[in-house]
Amino acid sequence: MSDALWLALALLLVLEGLMPAINPGGWRRMFEQILGLQDHQIRAVGLVSMLAGLVLLWVLQGT
């Protein structure tokens, strides 16, 4: 289990690094737009993202 967690973290870091590496200008503009959002909007996006990840984990555990 521990190895799977470290692999997941490594994959997360790779995926998080793709956007700034490929398109730094677009990445900057995206963050400028995020700065304009209200706290509750950012929180909602984070919660939806976490729920989508949990559902994906649940589906993958079943296979």
* 31-44 per-position pLDDT tens digit: 999 999 999 999 99
Which pLDDT score, from 0 to 100, does residue 22 have? Answer: 97
How is residue 28 annotated by DSSP?
H
How is residue 36 annotated by DSSP?
T
**Residue 3 located in a structural domain:** no
Which pLDDT score, from 0 to 100, does residue 51 have? Answer: 97
**Residue 39 located in a structural domain:** yes
The reported pTM is 0.71
Q: What's the domain range around 49?
A: 24-63
Tell me the residue length of the chain.
63
Confidence of residue 2 (pLDDT cuts 50, 70, 90): confident
**Residue 63 located in a structural domain:** yes
Total count of domains within the chain: 1
Best CA proximity match to 53, nearest among 2, 24, 12: 12
Which pLDDT score, from 0 to 100, does residue 15 have? Answer: 93
Which amino acid, one-letter code, is at 7? L
**Residue 1 located in a structural domain:** no
Q: Rounded to 10 degrees, what is the CA torsion of 41, 45, 48, 49? A: -170
